[in-house]
Structure 1
Amino acid sequence: MMGPLADLARPLLLALDPEVAHEVTLRALELGAYPRCASARDRALEVTALGLSFPNPIGIAAGFDKDARVPDAILGLGCGFAEIGTTTPRSQPGNPQPRVFRLVPDRAVINRLGFNNAGHAAALARLKARSKRGIVGVNIGANKDTSDRAADYVAGIDAFYDVASYFTVNISSPNTPGLRDLQAPDALDELLGRVMAARAAKVAMGALQRPIVVKLAPDIAPEDVEPIVAALARNSVDGIAVSNTTLARSGLSDANAREAGGLSGRPLFNRATAMLARVYQATDGKVPLIGIGGIDSPEAALAKIEAGATLLQLYTGLIYEGPGLIGRINTHLAKTCAERSVISIGELTGTGAAEWAAKPLD
């Protein structure tokens, strides 16, 4: 019954201001007003990556649940994992409104939110109060006005170490000035050296070793991919998320295309997937990749896996397709495994990487 109601609610949400609609969605999830679907347990969909066992490869990307308000509801929608954040040490309001713009004909969104969140303490309190199981990652970032960005990431490791299934180091948002500069190899070495040292200190005290994922932008110059991946390898990251939103604007038809900020949704798909494939090739397929960007159909999800993704994250596609997209993707992936006579969806990872890597970043 809840599924049809969700379908009816979607046009009503699209009629609201985007940030208002997002808050309404979060409150509905907090109240339990969503279509429940146990995480798909088809054996073909199970993924072992980052030292964790995922019931299926689908998650919702950071930015949806910045303050850890609804991770269990996300799992209840049928996702194999959730990721909260981006969270920063201190609360911050983000950029001035309006700062989120739908491009409906393009099935896209532009946002310039700027890491608006309630800070570490608020998210930590909610995660500590969880009683349910399930994989919940924590996406960490730096405050806009910090004097030491690396220290903010270390603070995230320290704050959430006991409650995070894994960490994502977000250095790819276009909406915090200078943040993407941390993707330069020398800056990466300095940042990740401190992050990994913070993790090592926890492990030395008897804690489990939490996986560290680094999230990259889709706008990296082609010649910079290999040096960046080499820096990530030097620092022994456990995974790479590809990608965040883009500053590119080619092929858009909506008047909102002129707005500043990061573009997500269908127009990002080709760029993000080609970048994913290039990163897959640069790592020789040895590092688990989280494929993000423009997944709004089961076919797009499968293409992202074939390009090199081990896990997937959705966000903008859910705005236009609704929560039923999660189940449709899992069903399609399981069906594809059966049709291709493979035991696991992981056997399809990277099978189309060469073709995707050869495509232009447009």
Structure 2
Amino acid sequence: MNFEGKLSVQEILQTQHFADAKVIAGEAGIHRLIRWVHVLEVTSIQNLLHGNELILSTGVGWKEDHNSFYSLVQQSINANAAGLCIELGTYISKIPQKIIDLANSYDFPIIVFFKKVKFIDITQEIHSLLIKKHYQILEDLEEYSSNLNQLLLSSNPHKKILEFLHDYLKVTVFYISNQGEIQVIPKKTPIEQEKIFQALQREEVTSSLHSAHQSVQALDHTFADLFIVSERDEITEFDSLILDRSAIALAQSLLRELYIEEQRKTEEGEWVRTWLAGKNSEEQIHKYLLEIDPNLRPNGCTVLLCKAENLNKVTSEFNYFKLYTRSIFERKG
């Protein structure tokens, strides 16, 4: 799976090895996520980071060279590192004010240790926490999928899946069908709904609006688009995986509805064949048509005849074939 468990800087500050550490800059950024821990003692790091690393350093690479230190912090910020932890005392005695100001301007956490620490113990503890977080994500996904399966067995699963997605992630859910029908959970005012809808169409991502999208597909055809929108937090990889599983469940629900509908149409087709064979009375014909549509005023019809081979297949397979064929015709109106 292409996802990783992540910890926030705030979470690692609660661990035993950070009990005596202090955040001296960028405290507003302690919500930043940590993907890995990296020990760095060099000043040129632009090609050494992938993003979200928590950097550990003693300062031996720059010591009292404040310009190199400033450059290191700027490179860390540019590389989207999670934060910088520095051991004071051996090679560096204090953090210059201009570096504190730089970190504060980008909400980049700088954490200091006032006594010697074992980086190997810190990395081991954080990596263990990351692995536990990874397995917790797997368990949460499995539980979520199990709940979706239960919803698929209930009545009106479509609406329940959308509500469950909203309740689970605490985000706004947009479901837009190919026919233009829009479902929003929770309900928004028309103005709020239109504002978000326009942003989704323009694929806008702002500091106050984050979104993710997944198509609801079945039979090689997209039937709807599913969006989650957060007006507070960024959409995480875990959120996207939850969205993906929800879209699959909605596709399964839709496919079941289409299959049931196709069975109904098959029964109707059988009735038409008995009609054409002259086996139904005029009274039976009028009664049946009125049950289908009380306002029906038939004035003609169009018949499409197809020659097919090997029709002695399982009925369910033939129903899926008709379902697929009908989806093609409906796309063409």
Q: TM-score range by the shorter chain?
A: under 0.3
Greater relative CO (CA pairs within 8 A, separation 6+): 1
Which structure's CA Rg is the greater one?
2
Q: Normalising by structure 1, report the TM-score.
A: 0.19
